[in-house]
Amino acid sequence: MATINDLSEGEIGQNRLVYSPTWIEAQKQVIQWALKLGLTVTVDDFGTAYMDVPGTDHPDQVIATGSHIDTVAQGGRFDGLYGVLGGMQAIENLLVTEGHPKETLRLISFSEEEGSRFPDTFTGSKHYTGAKINLAMTDPDGIHFDDARQTAVAQLNLPGVKHDLPDLPDTFTELHIEQGPRLIDHQLQIGLVTAIVGQRRFTITVKGIANHAGTTPMDERADALEMAVTLISQLRDQAHQLDSGLTFTVGEMHISPNTSNVIPGLVTFTIDTRSNDEQILDNFEQIIHQVVAQHQEPKITSTVNRWAKSDVTHLDDQLLAANQKTADKLGFSSTQLASGAGHDSQIMAKVTRTTMIFVPSIDGISHAPEENTGQVDLLHGVELLTESLHQQAY
């Protein structure tokens, strides 16, 4: 799958932004492998693929697993994709060794989770669970979500593939790399996820006045970038001072006109904040508004737009306890931990019993080209998932 990648000149890692030509190729590949395995494939309006082995006794009871196939820009090979291909491997293992399940087994390849192209996150699982998505939103090139979506989904209309939105499953298990250093630092093989952090993402727009770099005196400028730097450094200092475990990241910035001899007239930048505590997120949101309000000037104005909000999510205790027992039985060293990354599981948990299995990330690196997990660790995760699905569906 890592060869299905569209890097531009000078880029490294994996680019599979939702509804791009590479994304279409990748989702087609997943579907083709599923068809070859004999799974029944359904694709919904957002391009999420649902790949079923119908249950022999209780076909309406659905035990689901899966993750997402999109990546961040210049991301790694495992975030998301491991849960899709690992899930497919687990289902293949079960078909070979145990035959058909009593309950339906479903592999889900979600269309989008990362929020890397359009200003929304988890749009695949949100659509599945009935949340409304703003179809008019645009990517940085001005392409509408709905246009990109329709063009891409039309290409998934392969022979043998149904078009529908299936019923929700009875359980959902997501296999994923940890994306952080805790398992690798403690030499543990498996992480069982108790909860997922809440997130808020914002875009700050700073409007100044573009002007000549050489003729505009220093005290007569309305430099939007200078203001952006001030805002970022004050907010970062506040985030540090809180000392609450809140994470604060400015990961994206656009400078206009972005040329060496013009004072920047317009700057936009994003803020990503996360915490296990809603109160801390709410307080920091207030701080963002306060700091921005304190820095309004006659010729430089700034606005705040919050475009993503997800609450702290607690996953299912019983499924976690069952997976803990199974991990112990299989002889895997493990720990229970909260996830600092967002996952489709936090959306699925709103509608069904949901659990997550983590495997170690080498050097704790993720959302980067160096993202990696040892092959043996990858196999351990699949083994635990296989056993978990076996207990639930056979």
Flag whether 201 is marked binding: yes
What are the C-alpha distances in Å from 10 to residues 139, 251, 365?
A: 22, 19, 21
What are the C-alpha distances in Å from 188 to residues 178, 337, 358?
A: 11, 12, 10
Contacts for 137 with CB less than 8 Å, ≥ 6 apart: 118, 119, 120, 144, 145
Applying CB under 5 A, which of residues 80, 87, 124, 166 lies at the interface with Mn ion? 80
What are the C-alpha distances in Å from 128 to residues 27, 83, 165?
A: 17, 17, 7
What is the rounded CA–CA span in Å between residue 198 and residue 280? 10
Flag whether 258 is marked binding: no
What is the rounded CA–CA span in Å between residue 13 and residue 230? 32
Applying CB under 6 A, which of residues 18, 31, 34, 341 lies at the interface with ligand GLV? 341
Q: How many residues bind ligand GLV (CB under 6 A)?
A: 3
The listed partner (ligand GLV, Mn ion, none) that binds 85, CB under 5 to 8 Å by sort, is none
Flag whether 390 is marked binding: no
One-letter amino acid for residue 374 of the chain: G
Tokens describing residue 79: 């975030």
Least separation in angstroms between residue 1's CB and ligand GLV is: 17
Using DSSP's 3-state secondary structure scheme, residue 169 falls into coil
Flag whether 176 is marked binding: yes
153 or 177: CB nearest ligand GLV: 177
42 or 346: CB nearest Mn ion: 346
110 or 145: CB nearest ligand GLV: 110
What are the C-alpha distances in Å from 381 to residues 85, 131, 326, 332, 347?
A: 12, 30, 12, 10, 22
The listed partner (ligand GLV, Mn ion, none) that binds 70, CB under 5 to 8 Å by sort, is none
Binding to Mn ion (CB under 5 A): which residues in 332-371?
341-342
Task: Verify binding: residue 393, ligand GLV, rule CB under 6 A.
Answer: no
Task: Verify binding: residue 174, Mn ion, rule CB under 5 A.
Answer: no
71 or 326: CB nearest Mn ion: 71
The listed partner (ligand GLV, Mn ion, none) that binds 103, CB under 5 to 8 Å by sort, is none
What is the rounded CA–CA span in Å between residue 44 and residue 307? 24
> By rule CB under 6 A, what string of x and - marks binding of each residue 18-57 to ligand GLV?
----------------------------------------
182 or 295: CB nearest ligand GLV: 182
Flag whether 114 is marked binding: yes
Binding to ligand GLV (CB under 6 A): which residues in 74-133?
114
Applying CB under 5 A, which of residues 44, 52, 79, 371 lies at the interface with Mn ion? 79
128 or 292: CB nearest ligand GLV: 128
Least separation in angstroms between residue 340's CB and ligand GLV is: 8
Least separation in angstroms between residue 105's CB and ligand GLV is: 25
Residue linked to tokens 């790949």? 51
User: Per-residue DSSP letters for 216-253?
Assistant: S-GGG-B-HHHHHHHHHHHHHHHHHHH-SS-EEE---E
292 or 341: CB nearest ligand GLV: 341
User: Per-residue DSSP letters for 347-358?
Assistant: HHTTTSEEEEEE
Least separation in angstroms between residue 202's CB and ligand GLV is: 14
Angle at alpha carbon of residue 284, lines to 280 and 351, rounded to 5°: 55
Least separation in angstroms between residue 70's CB and ligand GLV is: 10
Contact by Cβ (8 Å): 18, 122:
no
Angle at alpha carbon of residue 296, lines to 292 and 298, rounded to 5°: 165
Task: Verify binding: residue 342, ligand GLV, rule CB under 6 A.
Answer: yes
Q: Which stretch binds Mn ion (CB under 5 A): 55-63, 73-81, 86-94, 315-323?
A: 73-81
Least separation in angstroms between residue 299's CB and ligand GLV is: 35
What is the rounded CA–CA span in Å between residue 102 and residue 285? 48
Tokens describing residue 223: 């430099």
What is the rounded CA–CA span in Å between residue 293 and residue 175? 43
Binding-site residues for allantoate sit at 201, 261, 274
Contact positions vs ligand GLV (CB under 6 A):
114, 341-342
Binding site for Mn ion (CB under 5 A): 79-80, 341-342
Binding annotation for Zn(2+): 68, 79, 114, 176, 367
